[in-house]
Amino acid sequence: MNKQKSDGAIATRSVHNARDPSIQNGMVNTPVYHASTIIHDTVNDLENAKLNINTKDALIYGRLGTPTTFAFENSVADLEGGYGALAVSSGLAAITTAIMAFVRSGDHILVANSVYYPTRHFCDYSLQRVGVDVTYYDPSIGDSISTLFQENTRLIFMESPGSNTFIVQDVPAIAEVAAASNIVTILDNSWASPIFFRPLEHGVNVCVVAATKYLSGHSDTMLGVIIADESHYPAVRNCRDEYGQCVGPDDLYLGLRGIRTLATRMQQHDRSGRAIAQWLSQQPGVLRVLHPALPDSIGHEIWKRDFDGASGLFGFELESRSRDAAVSMLEGMRYFAMGFSWGGFESLLIPVDSSGGRKSVDWSSDRRLFRIHVGLEDVSDLIADLESGLQRYFDCNSI
């Protein structure tokens, strides 16, 4: 009997879905299958394997997936409410593979100007090179995005909330006008994870997630996943397979292991993140806190309408001080480390370029933007750490 369970609330499903102890000697977790060759016993099976090349969960060849791959993919597809999911080697690979599945030379695409910088870089270089025209749009545009549609507009790329700005997009409005014009919609859902937002429920066709971040959740794996509705799954599947995208079984296992605690971790990131955002917004010298759950953040009402919570990643702006002041704050932090990425159990704090690019920080501007990831430490320890950090920042007299 197949004992895979995919009913109940999302936290319950994240614990029970895509595993079946009864077919693996009673063991709770899906095993890590290291495989390239998969033996087919009969000529019939061999021929069928080839015919099934695009079928979900078909055991054909290691690159096309093993039971470890399928468990990860099916778990994510269930949580995101998709027809199917496809594992790829990183979050960025999920973005580029999903875009390439739908565009051809001569097409025009619309990309939110608040996207993760490497997404933008891919659009400006690789897409440009193959003759795909890109227009960046204001993430707050809503259904007026239709004024940017051209005859050859093929795809809209969203990221909500956007990197560094944390502006929340009106996803259902954009998805609706896109569908009416036969334009494919893709959304980067890395920030919220499926625990707090499920883009496909709001009309988006394809969702991409950097599983490197919250899904795996322990800062120890690179992993991406693309989730699609039924009509867009085949195109993504073909593209993933044509590019030879696949993931090693240990990373898939870490992704799946992360999912089992995802709901609990997200709830804690949410609680601590909001407490720290609130606290920061009351400190002198803090100009703005960019957190979707705060009423004055851009897109807050939309966030309240569409999301079930907020993750631990947000931004805050401080009154301008010298580079030395920032160095003194950052290098003296006890728990907040400096590093790219986020979504692990640990807290991070870095200065970022407020123009949204990945240029180095402009230390001459009149405000300093910082990006904080609130981890799973006790929140009072984190606040104490930030309190002395701000003190170092504002006490630093050097110019």
Ligand X SMILES: *Cc1c(COP(=O)(O)O)cnc(C)c1O
Contact region with ligand X (CB under 6 A), list: 86-94, 133-141, 167-175, 262-270: 86-94
Q: How far is the CB of 45 from ligand X (least distance, A)?
A: 36
Residue with Cβ nearer ligand X (165 or 190): 190
Q: What separation, in Å, do the N-terminal and C-terminal C-alpha atoms of the chain show?
A: 71
> For ligand X, what does the binding mask look like between residues 325 and 354, x meaning CB under 6 A?
----------------x-------------
CB neighbour burial string for 368-379, b if at least 16 within 10 angstroms, e if fewer: bbbbbbbbbbeb
- Kindly identify the residues of this chain, within the stretch 230-289, that bind ligand X according to CB under 6 A: none
- Kindly identify the residues of this chain, within the stretch 122-181, that bind ligand X according to CB under 6 A: 159, 163
Q: How far is the CB of 125 from ligand X (least distance, A)?
A: 16
Which one of residues 91, 139, 255, 344 is an interface residue with ligand X (CB under 6 A)?
91
When asked if residue 188 is in the footprint of ligand X (CB under 6 A), the reply is yes
Which one of residues 212, 272, 311, 347 is an interface residue with ligand X (CB under 6 A)?
212
Q: 196: which 2 tokens?
A: 């707090």
Contact region with ligand X (CB under 6 A), list: 66-74, 90-98, 177-185, 249-257: 90-98
Q: How far is the CB of 221 from ligand X (least distance, A)?
A: 9
Measured torsion, CA atoms of residues 9, 14, 20, 25, in degrees rounded to the nearest 10: -130
Q: How far is the CB of 190 from ligand X (least distance, A)?
A: 4
Catalytic, out of 213, 265, 368, 371: 213
Residues 169, 171, 172, CA angle at the centre, nearest 5°? 145
Q: Which long-range contacts (CB under 8 A, 24 or more apart) does 176-182 make?
A: 176/143, 176/203, 177/143, 177/145, 177/146, 177/149, 178/145, 179/203, 181/146, 181/149, 181/153
Q: 132: which 2 tokens?
A: 């795909």
CB neighbour burial string for 116-142, b if at least 16 within 10 angstroms, e if fewer: beebbebbeeebeeeebbbebbebbbb
DSSP 202: G
Q: 19: which 2 tokens?
A: 């595993």
Catalytic, out of 20, 56, 61, 63: 63
Which one of residues 224, 249, 258, 273 is an interface residue with ligand X (CB under 6 A)?
224
Q: How far apart are CA 290 and CA 112, in angstroms?
A: 18
Catalytic, out of 116, 137, 214, 233: 116
Q: Annotated catalytic, 188?
A: yes
Are the C-beta atoms of 299 and 158 separated by less than 8 Å?
A: no
Contact region with ligand X (CB under 6 A), list: 140-148, 179-187, 210-218, 376-384: 210-218
Write the burial class of residue 380 (CB in 10 Å: 0-12 exposed, 13-18 middle, 19+ buried).
exposed
Q: How far is the CB of 137 from ligand X (least distance, A)?
A: 17
Residue with Cβ nearer ligand X (59 or 222): 222
Which one of residues 174, 195, 210, 382 is an interface residue with ligand X (CB under 6 A)?
210
Are the C-beta atoms of 345 and 217 separated by less than 8 Å?
A: yes
Return the residue nearest ligand X (CB atom). Answer: 91
Contact region with ligand X (CB under 6 A), list: 67-75, 206-214, 273-281, 300-308: 206-214
Helix (H), strand (E) counts: the chain:
14, 11
Contact region with ligand X (CB under 6 A), list: 76-84, 88-96, 231-239, 287-295: 88-96
Q: How far apart are CA 98 and CA 227, in angstroms?
A: 9
Closest C-alpha among 133, 141, 153 to residue 114:
141
Which one of residues 71, 77, 86, 92 is an interface residue with ligand X (CB under 6 A)?
92
Q: How far is the CB of 3 from ligand X (least distance, A)?
A: 32
Size of the site for ligand X (CB under 6 A): 14
Q: Annotated catalytic, 213?
A: yes
Residue with Cβ nearer ligand X (112 or 183): 112
DSSP 181: T
The residues that are catalytic are: 63, 116, 188, 213
User: Residues interacting with ligand X, by CB under 6 A?
Assistant: 90-92, 116, 159, 163, 188, 190, 210, 212-213, 222, 224, 341
